[in-house]
């Protein structure tokens, strides 16, 4: 994109939150365009630009096959081509081309690029072979991606033994997690009856509040990871000690926590029945 009137260079840092990702830009040449967000879409890395011109001007968004199209560059110097856009309603094919920008008229444009493996590797958004104050270039872009965790399912094996010979149930969980590469976290399961968490005095199975809690420490070497089957064992003896005779309708509270104990994501609940005889 080119601004067809002269403007002075602006060196600034932008702090913008959108789509859950934090984006900062260390060096940009425009005082009325900001990088609002960088995020992943199906098959694309998307850069969202916000426009807020203070005067009437003319701007150009060049088509991918035209002169000076936008490219993304990562920290290793690899380039990722622009594929399409939405929000720029120019006269050329697919909405590209030159158009008038009205003073104080805010709008945003989504630019769709060939997908990066990791959006946090982005370094710059620039026009090919375009330098100086007539180019809408952005450098030293830093994206801090929000951790995403998605729950798939939990299932139970009843009446089984663990390695120590304890009799009980094995609780399996499947979930996905993004942007926790090399960062420790843990899966935690607590048992509820109604709205109350069941407690135990057994220090091998309780948390600081005395609640039954099963934990597993995890860490992934991948940016995007799937945990197909993380299992934890619950001995029946814990339930026998705390529950009344007869059928008990229970549920498992399934959570992920950061290493410091802060909740990362509540994944869901799994209902089950335990009969004490």
For 35-90, what is each residue's pLDDT tens digit?
999 988 888 999 999 999 999 999 999 999 888 999 999 999 999 999 999 999 99
Domain limits for position 140: 2-144
77-81, 132-136, 138-142: segment of lowest average pLDDT: 132-136
pTM of the model: 0.65
Mean pLDDT of 217-224: 92
Domain CATH for 267 = 2.60.40
On the question of pLDDT at 14 being above 60, the answer is no
Looking at the fold, whether 108 and 121 belong to one and the same domain comes out as: yes
Looking at the fold, whether 133 and 156 belong to one and the same domain comes out as: no
Q: For residues 49 and 80, give the distance between their C-alpha atoms in angstroms, rounded to a whole number.
A: 17
Number of domains in the chain: 2
Looking at the fold, whether 117 and 92 belong to one and the same domain comes out as: yes
Nearest CA to 202 out of 214, 210, 194, 193 is that of 210
On the question of pLDDT at 148 being above 90, the answer is no
Q: For residues 75 and 82, give the distance between their C-alpha atoms in angstroms, rounded to a whole number.
A: 18
């Amino acid at each position: 994109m080119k601004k067809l009137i002269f403007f002075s260079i602006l060196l600034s840092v932008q702090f913008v939150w959108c789509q859950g990702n934090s984006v900062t830009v260390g060096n940009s040449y425009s005082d009325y365009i900001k990088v609002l967000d960088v995020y992943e879409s199906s098959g694309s890395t998307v850069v969202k630009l916000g426009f807020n011109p203070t005067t009437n001007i003319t701007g150009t968004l060049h088509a991918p096959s035209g002169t000076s199209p936008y490219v993304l560059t990562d920290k290793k110097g690899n380039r990722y081509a622009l594929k399409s856009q939405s929000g720029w309603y120019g006269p050329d094919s697919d909405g590209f081309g030159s158009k008038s920008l009205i003073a104080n008229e805010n709008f945003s444009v989504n630019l769709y690029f060939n997908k990066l493996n990791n959006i946090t590797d982005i370094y710059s958004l620039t026009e090919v072979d375009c330098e100086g104050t007539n180019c809408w270039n952005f450098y030293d872009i830093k994206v801090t991606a929000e951790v995403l965790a998605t729950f798939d399912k939990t299932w139970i094996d009843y009446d089984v033994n663990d390695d120590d010979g304890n009799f009980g149930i094995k609780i399996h969980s499947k979930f996905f997690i993004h942007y926790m590469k090399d960062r420790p976290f843990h899966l935690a399961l607590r048992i509820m009856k109604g709205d109350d968490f069941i407690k135990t005095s057994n220090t091998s199975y309780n948390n600081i509040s005395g609640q039954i809690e099963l934990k597993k420490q995890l860490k992934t070497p991948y940016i995007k990871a799937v945990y197909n089957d993380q299992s934890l064992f619950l001995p029946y003896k814990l339930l026998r000690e705390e529950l009344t005779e007869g059928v008990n309708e229970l549920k498992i509270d399934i959570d992920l926590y950061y290493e410091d104990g802060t909740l990362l994501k509540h994944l869901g609940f799994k209902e089950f029945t335990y009969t004490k005889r």
